[in-house]
């Protein structure tokens, strides 16, 4: 696919990041891919999420569900209101990775019972500034509830954790099935570009793969490449361990494990976004390109159980939105032009060929025994 060429100043930024990567590889040898992805996304001042360039919406590289319009947040708010009414009393909403702040703004505007505190755990300093700007026009009584965190709350809290398109941004390891067994994919230098190379798999990759391979319905062919997020269990524990009573909703593109590691998905799930074009080469313009991997939702469920959460619901985004009557928002539009706009948004969010099937929602609970309406119509826990 042909990509729009970046301007010279941005190419220079990407080149600075590449130079750092080359230094690391020249010193230490081939770089495990998760290290490459971490540098590509988070290298201070240069990585994609921390270099201060436009990411979201039409002027950026991709459009997330809350960026599409009001329907996503208004519908998620219905689910959160339901949880809040069972929690009773003061409760906290913790958003992980808030991007442009659109979900925070629209949730706070839509919730019937706003939380006492709306906390945003956002590692990117430039994105915190974007979020503050997005949230600036909220009424003072709502804005006063917002706070930013570097790490999850220390004190136990009752409430809701929400993460939309955050797990896909966690660095993944890549592997290849070879005749000699499992190999880890690393990044090396070939002439004036990066290239893949096989390296000895580290212990964490070996262990993670062992626990996966025995559960797959069929062996994978030689040459098969894919990803594993070995950081996922630790990350999930970190972000949920002070949730005392409540629900964590994680929404992302992904599959249950038996679909994730389908033999025909032989080059994995890595996906890169640059100016609304999706491509599959992570070595193109590091720092200017979003890099992500689909989420193995079975791994999320396993990690959740390991940190003492219950897996209370799993469905696709379409099922979640329809269960919460998202279509009513379209029907209740006050005029034809608004209805037309909302109908388009609803289609993009819910149609199977758009975001409706690719995106999944998992509901994790602790000390919370009430059913979650979002999983009522098309609950798919059995697929995990
Ligand atoms: C693809 S964006 C999604 C933004 C937003 N949630 C939305 O739906 O528009 C990923 C977000 O996750 C943040 N992020 C990346 N790694 C994170 C981590 N380990 N913990 C929390 N947030 C993270 C990024 O800085 C960014 O804000």
pLDDT digits (tens, 9 = 90+) for 44-85: 999 999 998 877 777 777 789 999 999 999 999 999 999 999
Neighbouring residues of 125: CB distance < 8 A, sequence distance ≥ 6: 50
What pLDDT was estimated at residue 194? 97
Segment 139-156 mean pLDDT:
96
Per-residue confidence (pLDDT) for residue 1, from 0 to 100: 60
Q: Domains for the chain: give ranges and CATH numbers.
A: 7-384 (3.40.50.12710)
Please name the residue whose Cα sits nearest to atom 2 of ligand 1: 99
Please tell me the pTM assigned to this model: 0.96
Q: What is the dihedral of CA 242, 245, 246, 252, to 10 degrees?
A: 30
Query: Average pLDDT over the chain, rounded to whole?
Result: 95
What's the token pair of residue 163?
């993460």
121 C-alpha vs ligand 1 centroid, how far in Å?
Answer: 9
Q: Across residues 252-274, what is the average pLDDT?
A: 95
> What is the percentage of the chain residues whose pLDDT exceeds 90?
90
For the range 204-212, what are the long-range contacts, defined as Cβ-Cβ under 8 Å and sequence gap of 24 or more? 204/173, 204/230, 205/173, 205/175, 205/230, 206/182, 208/173, 209/175, 209/182, 212/257, 212/261, 212/299
Round to whole Å and give the CA distance between 44 and 224: 33
Q: Is 346 in the pocket of ligand 1 (CB under 6 A)?
A: no
CB of 164 closer than 6 A to ligand 1? yes
Quick one: average pLDDT of 188-214?
Answer: 95
Any idea which of 1-15, 70-84, 121-135, 336-350 has the lowest mean pLDDT?
Answer: 1-15
Q: Report residue 309's pLDDT band, with 50, 70 and 90 as the boundaries.
A: very high
Q: Residue 3 — pLDDT band, cuts 50, 70, 90?
A: confident
Instruction: State how far the Cα of 266 lies from the Cα of 114, in Å rounded to an integer.
Output: 45
Does ligand 1 have an atom closer than 6 angstroms to the CB of 103? Answer: yes
Q: Is the CB of 122 under 6 A from ligand 1?
A: yes
pLDDT band (50, 70, 90) for residue 278: confident
Q: In the chain, at which residue ranges do the beta strands (DSSP E only) sit?
A: 31-32, 92-96, 117-121, 146-149, 157-164, 173-178, 181-190, 193-199, 225-228, 243-255, 270-274, 277-279, 290-293, 295-296, 310-316, 359-366
Q: Which pairs with CB-CB distance under 8 Å and at least 24 residues apart come from 217-220?
A: 217/258, 218/263, 220/177, 220/261, 220/263
Reduced to 3 states (helix: H, G, I; strand: E, B; else coil), residue 247 is strand
Q: To test the ligand 1 pocket, which listed residue (166, 237, 254, 292) has its Cβ within 8 A of the most ligand atoms?
A: 166
For the Cβ of 99 lying below 6 angstroms from any atom of ligand 1, the answer is: yes
170 has a pLDDT exceeding 80: yes
Res. 121: pLDDT tops 70? yes
* Ligand 1 touching residue 303 (CB < 6 A): no
């Amino acid at each position: 696919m042909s990509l729009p060429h970046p301007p010279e100043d941005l190419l220079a930024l990407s080149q600075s990041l590449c130079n750092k990567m080359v230094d690391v590889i020249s010193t230490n040898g081939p770089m495990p891919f998760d290290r490459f992805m971490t540098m590509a996304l988070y290298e201070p001042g240069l990585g994609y999420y921390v270099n201060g360039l436009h990411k979201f919406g039409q002027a950026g590289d991709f459009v997330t569900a809350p960026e599409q319009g009001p329907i996503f947040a208004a519908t998620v708010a219905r689910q959160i209101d339901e949880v809040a009414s069972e929690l009773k009393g003061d409760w906290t909403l913790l958003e992980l990775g808030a991007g442009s702040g659109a979900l925070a703004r629209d949730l706070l505007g839509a919730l019937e019972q706003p939380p006492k505190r709306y906390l945003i755990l956002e590692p990117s300093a430039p994105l915190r500034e974007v979020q503050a700007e997005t949230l600036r026009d909220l009424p003072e009584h709502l804005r006063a509830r917002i706070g930013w965190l570097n790490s999850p709350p220390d004190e136990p809290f009752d409430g809701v954790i929400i993460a939309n398109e955050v797990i896909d941004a966690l660095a993944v390891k890549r592997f290849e099935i070879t005749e000699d067994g499992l190999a880890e994919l690393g990044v090396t230098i070939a002439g004036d570009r990066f290239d893949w190379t096989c390296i000895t798999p580290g212990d964490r990759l070996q262990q993670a793969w062992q626990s996966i391979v025995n559960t797959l319905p069929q062996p994978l062919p030689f040459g098969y490449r894919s990803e594993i997020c070995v950081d996922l269990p630790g990350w999930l524990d970190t972000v949920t361990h002070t949730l005392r009573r409540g629900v964590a909703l994680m929404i992302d593109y992904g599959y249950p494990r038996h679909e994730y590691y389908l033999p025909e998905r032989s080059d994995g799930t890595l996906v890169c976004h640059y100016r609304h074009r999706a491509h599959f080469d992570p070595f193109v313009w590091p720092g200017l390109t979003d890099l992500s991997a689909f989420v193995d939702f079975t791994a999320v469920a396993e990690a959740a159980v390991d940190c003492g959460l219950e897996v209370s619901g799993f469905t696709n985004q379409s099922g979640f939105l329809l269960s919460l009557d998202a279509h009513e928002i379209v029907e209740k539009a006050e005029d034809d032009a608004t209805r037309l706009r909302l109908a388009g948004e609803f289609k993009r969010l819910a149609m199977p060929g758009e975001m409706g099937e690719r995106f999944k929602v998992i509901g994790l609970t602790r000390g919370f025994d009430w059913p979650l309406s979002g999983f009522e119509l098309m609950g798919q826990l059995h697929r995990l």
